[in-house]
Structure 1
Amino acid sequence: MATLVLLTLVGGRVATADTGDQENKVTDPVPLLELRTNGNAGWFWTLSEAEESAAVSQYGMTLEPTKLGYLLRQPFTGSQAIYRLRSNARATYLLTASSAERDSLVASGAFTYEGVIGYAFAQPHSATAELHRMNNGVEWRVVPDADVARFAQNGYTDDGPLGYVYPVYNRVGAIYFGTFDADGNRAFMDNVKSVYGRDNDWWGGVKDFAGYDAPQNAWHWPNTDFSDLKPSIGYYDDEQPATLERQIEQASSAGLRYFTFYWYWNPANGGGEQLIGGLRSFLQAANRADMDFNVMTCIHPWSNGNVSLRLPADQITKAADTIVDTYLGQPNYLRANDGRPIIEVCDDRGIGSGTANAVDTAAVRRFTDALRAEAKVKYGEDVLITLNDQLGVPSADSGFDGTQVQGRYDASRSYQRYVDTERGRIANYPGILIRGATSGFDNRPWDGVGIADPGPNATEQQLEAAFSWYDDHSIARFGTLLANLRSDIQASTRPPATDNLVLIYAWNEWHEGGHIEPNVRDGCAYLNTIRQQLALTGGAGCAIS
Structure 2
Amino acid sequence: MSKRRAIAFVLPQFHPIPENDQWWGKGFTEWTNVTKARPLFEGHYQPQLPADLGFYDLRLPEAREAQASLAKEHNIFGFCYYHYWFNGKRLLHKPLDDMLHLGTPNMPFMYCWANENWTRRWDGQENDILIEQTYSKEDDKEHIIWLCEQVFNDKRYITVNGAPVFMIYRHNLFPDIRETIALWRTIAVEEYGFPDLYLCMTESFNTQDDPTAFGFDASVEFSAHAILGHECTPKRKRLFLKRPKNNLVFKDFKKGVKVSISRAQPEYKFFRSVTPAWDNTARKGVNGVVALGSSPELYKKWLKEAVSKSTVYSADENFIFINAMNEWAEGNHLEPCIKYGLSYLEATKNILDNYK
The alignment of Structure 1 onto Structure 2 pairs a total of residues equal to 322
Instruction: Tell which structure's C-alpha radius of gyration is larger.
Output: 1
Matching residue within 335, 352, 370 for 2:183: 370
Matched, 1:434 2:271: yes
Matched, 1:411 2:236: no
Report the counterpart of residue 170 of structure 1 in structure 2. 4
Matching residue within 97, 112, 122 for 1:280: 97
Q: Which runs of 5+ in 1 are unaligned?
A: 1-166, 194-198, 210-216, 352-359, 454-465, 539-545
Matching residue within 265, 288, 312 for 1:467: 288
> What is the CA–CA distance in structure 2 between the aligned matches of 1:375 and 1:402, rounded to whole Å?
18
Give per-residue Cα distances to partners, 1:216-266, cap 9 Å, x unaligned: x44x34752225432522112112222101111111111211000111112
Report the counterpart of residue 80 of structure 2 in structure 1. 260
Matched, 1:293 2:109: yes
Report the counterpart of residue 244 of structure 1 in structure 2. 64
1:322-341 pair list within 5 angstroms: 322-336=146-160, 338-341=161-164
Matched, 1:496 2:314: yes
State the SS of the aligned residue for 1:341: strand
Report the counterpart of residue 132 of structure 2 in structure 1. 308
- Contact 1:175–1:505 under 8 Å retained in 2: yes
Matching residue within 521, 527, 536 for 2:339: 521
Report the counterpart of residue 382 of structure 1 in structure 2. 196
> What is the CA–CA distance in structure 2 between the aligned matches of 1:441 and 1:382, rounded to whole Å?
36
Instruction: Report the AA paired with residue 195 of structure 2.
Output: E
Matching residue within 299, 320, 339 for 1:478: 299
Matched, 1:181 2:18: no
> What is the CA–CA distance in structure 2 between the aligned matches of 1:310 and 1:183, rounded to whole Å?
22
- Deviates most, 238-247 or 305-314: 305-314
Report the counterpart of residue 324 of structure 2 in structure 1. 506
- Contact 1:300–1:347 under 8 Å retained in 2: yes
> What is the CA–CA distance in structure 2 between the aligned matches of 1:505 and 1:426, rounded to whole Å?
20
State the SS of the aligned residue for 1:387: strand
Change (3 A) 1:469 1:249: same
Deviation, 1:281, is 3.6
- Contact 2:211–2:217 under 8 Å retained in 1: no
> What is the CA–CA distance in structure 1 between the aligned matches of 2:18 and 2:3, rounded to whole Å?
36
> What is the CA–CA distance in structure 1 between the aligned matches of 2:212 and 2:297, rounded to whole Å?
38
Give per-residue Cα distances to partners, 1:40-75, cap 9 Å, x unaligned: xxxxxxxxxxxxxxxxxxxxxxxxxxxxxxxxxxxx
Instruction: Report the AA paired with residue 12 of structure 2.
Output: G
Matching residue within 200, 222, 225 for 2:27: 200
- Contact 1:173–1:257 under 8 Å retained in 2: yes
Matching residue within 209, 213, 228 for 1:393: 209
Give per-residue Cα distances to partners, 1:456-510, cap 9 Å, x unaligned: xxxxxxxxxx422211111100001011112203xx4x63366521110001111
Change (3 A) 1:253 1:174: same
Change (3 A) 1:322 1:399: same
RCO (CA 8 Å, sep 6+): is it higher in 1 or 2?
2
Instruction: Report the AA paired with residue 170 of structure 1.
Output: R
Give per-residue Cα distances to partners, 1:332-368, cap 9 Å, x unaligned: 10123x33221111123443xxxxxxxx2x2x12321
Deviation, 1:274, is 2.4
Instruction: Report the AA paired with residue 166 of structure 2.
Output: I
Change (3 A) 1:411 1:467: farther
The structure with the greater share of residues assigned to strand is 1
Give per-residue Cα distances to partners, 1:194-227, cap 9 Å, x unaligned: xxxxx32211221122xxxxxxx44x34752225
> What is the CA–CA distance in structure 2 between the aligned matches of 1:531 and 1:242, rounded to whole Å?
23
> What is the CA–CA distance in structure 1 between the aligned matches of 2:19 and 2:319, rounded to whole Å?
30
> What is the CA–CA distance in structure 2 between the aligned matches of 1:250 and 1:395, rounded to whole Å?
33
Instruction: Report the AA paired with residue 524 of structure 1.
Output: L
- Deviates most, 240-249 or 392-401: 392-401
Instruction: Report the AA paired with residue 275 of structure 1.
Output: L
- Contact 2:58–2:95 under 8 Å retained in 1: yes
- Contact 1:205–1:445 under 8 Å retained in 2: yes
Instruction: Report the AA paired with residue 280 of structure 1.
Output: D
> What is the CA–CA distance in structure 1 between the aligned matches of 2:211 and 2:2, rounded to whole Å?
32
Change (3 A) 1:313 1:340: closer
Q: Which runs of 5+ in 2 are unaligned?
A: 118-123, 232-250
> What is the CA–CA distance in structure 1 between the aligned matches of 2:28 and 2:307, rounded to whole Å?
39
- Deviates most, 223-232 or 173-182: 223-232
Q: How high is the TM-score relative to the length of structure 2? A: 0.82
- Contact 1:403–1:434 under 8 Å retained in 2: yes
> What is the CA–CA distance in structure 2 between the aligned matches of 1:307 and 1:381, rounded to whole Å?
34
> What is the CA–CA distance in structure 2 between the aligned matches of 1:339 and 1:313, rounded to whole Å?
26
Deviation, 1:178, is 0.7
Change (3 A) 1:319 1:397: same
Q: How high is the TM-score relative to the length of structure 1? A: 0.55
- Contact 2:77–2:108 under 8 Å retained in 1: yes
Change (3 A) 1:430 1:227: same
State the SS of the aligned residue for 1:175: strand
Change (3 A) 1:307 1:503: same
Provide the identity percentage: 18
The structure with the greater share of residues assigned to helix is 2
Deviation, 1:186, is 1.6
Change (3 A) 1:248 1:170: same
